[in-house]
């Protein structure tokens, strides 16, 4: 079972928004005891964001299950000391402080490991913690822009477009979790803690790896191709008479099969289209020819005809339709709340490495829900617990 991977591991989640909380949630799904340290009176920034499910923000719900919440004003001397006391019995700390705040609060890796030499700190930032990056705060969309990711996203002759999912936040959270797991493995040998430092900028360049190498090889920046691909054609969304579908042909044999299926006799031997480099050079001519053909029939006609020929093709779905797909049900991606040990009414998306959703053990915490139990276990009395949870 996934939730037995890290039993007994204690993680302190000081992060807000998406990247850091997602990293700690991954560890929580794997069995770690994750304590979410939140500032009074509002807690994690995402708690206030729409849309909402009852009293809870769906963004917060998405990345904060399997955690306990404790309220601590870590900017106060008493709150800082309480945090460091929790660090003494923790294995991992995840933080995403704005540039300079860790140093100002004296909550850096050096400060943490004076209290716990085995602590693993994961610092998540937008641009890193070097001389330049440490002065540059940022969010997912900003890093998409400055990294170049937006420059080739969208259609030609349109303004730059942001990738709608928070791809840099989520992938940086994944890199954070991977880095923590590697540090935990190394600690079993060295006995020492480690500082893991993923950034959104690093994630952006990793996601663009073949575009970056393509630019270095040719000197030509990647172009906006809409739904198209830089190295294959025909490979894009086409409009049928009643909707849109994606066609992906990534090799010469696939293109020959496409021509045969569509009764386009001789097209595969046309010098403009007979090989992939030629098809890329004449992409617009080929796409226009196919667009005219595909507009004559319904999407399901093309899905049947092309799919039965072994050609990669699929309807462009909205989220409602994608959740209703048979393969989504087969994959058990959405875990119904009635099957969980808690019944909040909000289904949960399982992690890709948790096929049964067994790692989903508890709901996202209410703000400060577990302050008393966590601080009492650390040796604080009721009066101190009340003080620590105030601004």
Q: What is the pTM of this model?
A: 0.94
- Please check the confidence at residue 55 and state whether its pLDDT lies above 90: no
Mean pLDDT of the chain: 94
Looking at residue 5, its pLDDT comes to 80
Rounded Cα distance between 8 and 16, Å, is 24
Looking at residue 284, its pLDDT comes to 95
pLDDT band of residue 260 (cuts 50, 70, 90) is: very high
Looking at residue 134, its pLDDT comes to 78
Q: pLDDT tens for residues 144-186?
A: 999 999 999 999 999 999 999 999 999 999 999 999 999 999 9
- Please check the confidence at residue 343 and state whether its pLDDT lies above 60: no
Contacts of residues 127-134 at CB distance under 8 Å and 24 or more positions apart, as own/partner, are 127/199, 127/200, 127/201, 128/197, 128/199, 128/201, 128/202, 129/99, 129/197, 133/99, 133/199, 133/201, 134/99, 134/100
Q: pLDDT tens for residues 13-28?
A: 999 999 999 999 999 9
Average pLDDT estimate for 74-79: 95
Looking at residue 1, its pLDDT comes to 64
pLDDT band of residue 269 (cuts 50, 70, 90) is: very high
pLDDT band of residue 344 (cuts 50, 70, 90) is: low
Average pLDDT estimate for 80-107: 96
- Please check the confidence at residue 215 and state whether its pLDDT lies above 80: yes
What percent of the chain is modeled with pLDDT above 90? 88
- Please check the confidence at residue 143 and state whether its pLDDT lies above 60: yes
CB neighbours of residue 168 within 10 Å? 29
Domain ranges of the chain: 2-207+361-388, 235-316
Looking at residue 342, its pLDDT comes to 58
- What would the CATH number be for the domain defined by 235-316? 3.30.1540.10
Would you call 4 helix, strand, or coil by DSSP?
A: helix
- Please check the confidence at residue 233 and state whether its pLDDT lies above 70: yes
Looking at residue 133, its pLDDT comes to 81
- What would the CATH number be for the domain defined by 2-207+361-388? 3.40.50.10540
- Please check the confidence at residue 37 and state whether its pLDDT lies above 80: yes
Rounded Cα distance between 79 and 370, Å, is 16
Name the residues annotated as catalytic: 169
- Please check the confidence at residue 346 and state whether its pLDDT lies above 90: no
Supply the Cα-derived Rg of the chain in whole angstroms. 25
């Amino acid at each position: 079972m996934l939730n037995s991977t890290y039993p007994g591991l204690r993680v302190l989640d000081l992060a807000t928004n998406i990247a850091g909380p997602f990293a700690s949630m991954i560890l929580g799904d794997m069995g770690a005891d994750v304590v979410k340290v939140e500032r009074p009176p509002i807690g994690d920034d995402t708690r206030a964001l729409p849309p909402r499910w009852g009293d809870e923000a769906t963004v917060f719900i998405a990345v904060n299950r399997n955690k306990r919440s404790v309220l601590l004003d870590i900017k106060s001397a008493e709150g800082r000391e309480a945090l460091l006391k929790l660090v003494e019995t923790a294995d991992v700390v995840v933080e995403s402080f704005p540039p300079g705040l860790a140093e100002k609060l004296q909550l850096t890796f050096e400060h943490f490991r004076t209290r716990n030499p085995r602590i693993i700190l994961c610092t998540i930032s937008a641009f890193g913690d070097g001389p330049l990056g440490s002065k540059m705060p940022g969010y997912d969309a900003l890093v998409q822009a400055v990294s170049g990711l937006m420059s080739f996203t969208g259609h030609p002759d349109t303004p730059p477009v942001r990738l709608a999912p928070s791809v840099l936040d989520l992938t940086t959270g994944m890199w954070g979790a991977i880095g923590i797991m590697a540090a935990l493995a190394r600690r079993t040998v060295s006995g020492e803690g480690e500082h893991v430092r993923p950034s959104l900028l690093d994630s952006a360049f990793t996601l663009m790896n073949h575009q970056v190498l393509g630019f270095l090889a040719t000197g030509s920046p990647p172009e906006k191709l809409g739904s198209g691909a830089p190295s294959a054609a025909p490979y894009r969304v086409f409009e049928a008479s009643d909707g849109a579908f994606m066609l992906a042909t990534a090799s010469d044999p696939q293109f020959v099969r496409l021509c045969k299926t569509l009764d386009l006799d001789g097209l595969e031997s046309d010098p403009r289209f007979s090989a992939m480099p030629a098809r890329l050079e004449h992409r617009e001519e080929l796409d226009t020819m196919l667009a005219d053909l595909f507009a004559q029939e319904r999407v399901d006609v093309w899905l049947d005809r092309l799919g039965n020929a072994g050609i990669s093709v699929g309807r462009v779905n909205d989220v409602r339709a994608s959740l209703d797909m048979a393969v989504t049900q087969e994959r058990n991606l959405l875990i119904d709340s009635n099957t969980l040990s808690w019944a909040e009414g909000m289904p949960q998306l399982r992690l890709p490495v948790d096929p049964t959703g067994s790692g989903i053990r508890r709901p996202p915490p209410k703000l400060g829900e577990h302050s008393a139990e966590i601080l009492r276990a650390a040796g604080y009395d009721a009066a101190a617990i009340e003080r620590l949870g105030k601004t």
